Structure 1
Amino acid sequence: MRTHFIAIGGAAMHNLALALHDKGYKVTGSDDAIFEPSKSRLQNKGLLPESLGWFPEKITTDVEAIILGMHAKPDNPELLKAQQLGLKIYSYPEFLYEQSKNKTRVVIGGSHGKTTITSMILHVMNYHNIAVDYMVGAQLEGFDTMVHLTEENDFIVLEGDEYLSSPMDRRPKFHLYQPNIALLSGIAWDHINVFPTFENYVEQFEIFVNQVTSGGILVYNEEDLVVKKVAEETQNPIRKIPYQTALYKVENGKTLLETPNGFMPIEIFGAHNLNNLSGAKWICQCMGVDEADFYEAIATFKGASKRLEKIAESNNKVAYKDFAHSPSKVAATTKAVKNQYPNRKLVACLELHTYSSLNADFLKEYEGALDAADVAVVFYSPDAVKIKQLEEVSYEQIAQAFKRNDLLIYTQPAEFKEFLFTYNLDACALLLMSSGNYGGLDFEEVKQLIK
């Protein structure tokens, strides 16, 4: 019997395919487009489809389970064949639950910080040679895949995304995991194409908290007033552990974390990351790691990929890239870099790339998000707006939304690149925030600017 992936090339899907292959499963899959690094990683394990496209003839009665990716459409020929044959069809989160229903499930939820907190927990566990199963949304240093599944490990740590499970299953992914231990980091309206109102969005987190198993644990960020309200108002009979931002100070561009044994230098920085660290510490303690062992391990944590990732540094220049795209993430990341380098000019460049960020009605949420920057730049592609079939966003709407008279706005990749490569970055910190690539920006070339 085999497990077949419809849309195997996705970041999450191909990692699950690799994890099942490593577990001994027979895995096949299809996709109409597969990019790097998925392509090479699937090829190395012999899992890359011979041809791109959908092939209903691959779907036969020897398939034990179909795993359906978000990229697949409801009229996908392979999906229709699977339905015709009456095969078991799972969404990605459904299958993860199926693999972990006999384990202690630790689920990290929230509008922001999920990947970083999950990464911190896994780093600590790995440092102390504590084997756990996991699913995380970024490639981590020291880990081969973003998904790891075994029969023997007691714990599984899951990043709990609030986006939809599959084209057929409109439930948020984190509603399917039924956590024994959960964390809620923050709630800031996102995914407006799915959750049209803030109230509707908050309701998804209320459901998540109510699904923590009876007698389980909820760790929550009490500095976020919406999170605090959701946590305190639930009638679910669970233990609640609030956390706040860890105490720290910045000296000569280095962040020092306050611990019971004094201040300790750490690799990460920013108030939002010190808040994430506090949440991760509580989760690790719930998983049996004491405070001293947590501090020993976290000192070497360098961050998750694309989360305040330092891409280049010289004597008086530094450049970071970050996945930040929602208003709350943009504001937190911009402030973090400015606080870390208070004596440098902060050049912050934001690409509006997601469905929400390119929506004219949502743009007002960005007011003040770039206020910590000395030079604030916004790039967006009118083509991306057309592809997402949204109403055209004007230059004036962008300028009005951010409420910043000196905001620089670019809509052409070549013009943005010209700005970046002609700007004098001496005594500057450059911050590039995007879930895209600014219309084809080569980050290797950006590194050369910092030398």
Structure 2
Amino acid sequence: MRTHFIAIGGAAMHNLALALHEKGYTITGSDDAIFEPSRSRLENKGLLPAELGWFPEKITPDIEAVILGMHAKADNPELLRAQELGLKIYSYPEFLYEQSKNKTRVVIGGSHGKTTITSMILHVMNYHNIAVDYMVGAQLEGFDTMVKLTEENDFIVLEGDEYLSSPMDRRPKFHLYQPNIALISGIAWDHINVFPTYENYVEQFELFIGKITNGGILVYNENDPEVKRVAEAASNPIRKMPYSTPAYHVENGTTYLETPEGPMPIEVFGTHNLNNLAGAKWICQNMGVDEADFYEAIASFKGASKRLEKIAEKGNNVAYKDFAHSPSKVAATTKAVKEQYPDRTLVACLELHTYSSLNAGFLKEYEGALDAADVAVVFYSPDAVKIKQLEEVTYEQIAEAFNRKDLIIYTNPAELKNYLYNIKHDSKGTALLLMSSGNYGGLNFDEVKNLI
């Protein structure tokens, strides 16, 4: 089957291209910018476009499927040519559904935790040599790609993103998967450029529940009041399974999960991650893995890439980076690190990088998010504000929003780097937490080991 990707270089798109290539499809694609690691990975499989740009002549009648990435615009020349020829055009999630119509679809949704929960499930399945198809939003240890598609596997595990499907399809991605088994981890307002009100955002999860197949299963986090309300209000014929944060304790920097066999040391930490673990356990049990086998496997799970990832440790000093950027994620991650290292000075550094976080009207949602940190630092780039065509945010607005008098604010990458390099460490040690979906204007994370 010849399949053409418009915007093949994206993180999700190139992984789907690699998965289909592995499945035996003939793959072509175009993009106007392709960065690492997409570039090398496509090149290694002979899928890298010969030159950057859009070429309508690549679009020919023998193409059986065109997959349109979010990076492509509605007036893309290749898209216009595909429409002119009447070719079948899919968004990324539409195509995934087509590939999984005859499988048991497990969809993990939620404003936060979905990548981690999906990763936990896949780790458990991989540990027990249970082959499943999947799509996850992070590179996982022991997995070559972020997407796997086969003809023979019975299950597919999909990370269910609530963002839009494509420039032509304004439906949230997770509305297209029609899950047999679904999970909702949490609801906290995000993507305000698409969902301008909190009520509009919550409605997307109500619609998601409505798309669970009749007789299907909803696993939901009852510790989240909004999730609990939405789940309990749903009236479609499904089975509902609530979960909550399991008992655990922290001892000398190690988190122990309470299990029927006694306390078990685990690699991940923080209340939010233990909550994620409880959700993953329910899903795995519904996929045929019993509780004891789940615990055996999850003990060695170290986390998804960029999710509370330890990047350096020296003596009593430690550094983590995390993808956290929304207010709820920032608060949960900051609390987790402080709980894990209560005696160390926690320096939490947050980059405001997303459309929502750089919106002056949304900033108030961050109040209290960094309260667990001993030292709280916020960085944002005025250039990023301009690129996103937002109104300029000021020091005063940020200081007022976080409502913390000792908040340190930087807008210059060099000044931030200088501050980080000159952190004074006392005898009890420092825990440095870098939270961003960007890179602080060019911070080299490999150099962070020199900071501690």
Is TM-score (shorter-chain normalized) higher than 0.5? Answer: yes
Equivalent position of 1:382 in the other structure: 382
Equivalent position of 2:446 in the other structure: 444
Q: How many residues align?
A: 450
> Is 1:46–2:46 an aligned residue pair?
yes
> Is 1:90–2:90 an aligned residue pair?
yes
Q: Supply the AA of the counterpart residue of 1:37.
A: P
Equivalent position of 1:133 in the other structure: 133
* TM-score normalised over the length of structure 2: 0.99
Q: Supply the AA of the counterpart residue of 2:445.
A: F
Q: Supply the AA of the counterpart residue of 1:432.
A: L
Equivalent position of 1:226 in the other structure: 226
> Is 1:423–2:409 an aligned residue pair?
no
**Where does 1:275-354 land on structure 2 (aligned, <5 Å)?**
275-354=275-354
> Structure 2: how far apart are the matches of 1:228 and 1:357?
26
Q: Supply the AA of the counterpart residue of 2:112.
A: H
> Structure 1: how far apart are the matches of 2:447 and 2:130?
40
Q: Supply the AA of the counterpart residue of 2:98.
A: E
**Where does 1:18-417 land on structure 2 (aligned, <5 Å)?**
18-417=18-417
SS at match of 2:257: strand
- Shift of residue 315, structure 1, vs aligned partner: 1.1
> Structure 2: how far apart are the matches of 1:425 and 1:9?
42
Q: How big is each residue's C-alpha offset from its partner over 1:17-43, in whole Å with a ceiling of 9 and x where there is no partner?
A: 000000000001000000000000000
> Structure 1: how far apart are the matches of 2:300 and 2:137?
20
- Shift of residue 307, structure 1, vs aligned partner: 0.1
Q: How big is each residue's C-alpha offset from its partner over 1:269-307, in whole Å with a ceiling of 9 and x where there is no partner?
A: 000000000000000000000000000000000000000
Q: Which runs of 5+ in 2 are unaligned?
A: none
SS at match of 1:307: coil
> Structure 2: how far apart are the matches of 1:330 and 1:16?
30
SS at match of 1:166: coil
Q: How big is each residue's C-alpha offset from its partner over 1:121-165, in whole Å with a ceiling of 9 and x where there is no partner?
A: 000000000000000000000000000000000000000000000
SS at match of 1:63: coil
- Shift of residue 444, structure 1, vs aligned partner: 1.1
Q: Supply the AA of the counterpart residue of 2:7.
A: A
- Shift of residue 228, structure 1, vs aligned partner: 0.3
> Structure 2: how far apart are the matches of 1:62 and 1:448?
55
- Shift of residue 372, structure 1, vs aligned partner: 0.2
Q: Supply the AA of the counterpart residue of 1:254.
A: T
SS at match of 1:43: helix
> Structure 2: how far apart are the matches of 1:48 and 1:62?
20
Q: How big is each residue's C-alpha offset from its partner over 1:179-203, in whole Å with a ceiling of 9 and x where there is no partner?
A: 0000000000000000000000000
Q: Supply the AA of the counterpart residue of 2:191.
A: H
Q: Supply the AA of the counterpart residue of 1:431.
A: L
- Shift of residue 416, structure 1, vs aligned partner: 0.6
> Structure 2: how far apart are the matches of 1:372 and 1:33?
40
> Structure 2: how far apart are the matches of 1:287 and 1:251?
33
Equivalent position of 1:435 in the other structure: 437
What is the Cα-based RMSD across aligned positions, in Å?
0.5
SS at match of 1:292: helix
SS at match of 1:441: coil
Q: Supply the AA of the counterpart residue of 1:155.
A: F
Q: Supply the AA of the counterpart residue of 1:394.
A: T
SS at match of 1:431: strand
Q: Supply the AA of the counterpart residue of 2:77.
A: P
- Shift of residue 441, structure 1, vs aligned partner: 0.2
Q: How big is each residue's C-alpha offset from its partner over 1:42-66, in whole Å with a ceiling of 9 and x where there is no partner?
A: 0000000000000000000011000
Equivalent position of 2:17 in the other structure: 17
- Shift of residue 7, structure 1, vs aligned partner: 0.3
> Structure 1: how far apart are the matches of 2:425 and 2:267?
24
> Structure 1: how far apart are the matches of 2:435 and 2:397?
20
> Structure 1: how far apart are the matches of 2:236 and 2:447?
52
Q: Which runs of 5+ in 1 are unaligned?
A: none
> Structure 1: how far apart are the matches of 2:419 and 2:77?
46
- Shift of residue 425, structure 1, vs aligned partner: 3.5
> Structure 1: how far apart are the matches of 2:180 and 2:446?
43
> Structure 1: how far apart are the matches of 2:415 and 2:340?
29
Runs of 4 or more, structure 1, over 2 Å off, are none
Q: How big is each residue's C-alpha offset from its partner over 1:186-233, in whole Å with a ceiling of 9 and x where there is no partner?
A: 000000000000000000000000110000000000010000011000
> Structure 2: how far apart are the matches of 1:167 and 1:424?
48
Q: How big is each residue's C-alpha offset from its partner over 1:356-393, in whole Å with a ceiling of 9 and x where there is no partner?
A: 00000000000000000000000000000000000000
Q: How big is each residue's C-alpha offset from its partner over 1:315-353, in whole Å with a ceiling of 9 and x where there is no partner?
A: 110000000000000000000000000000000000000
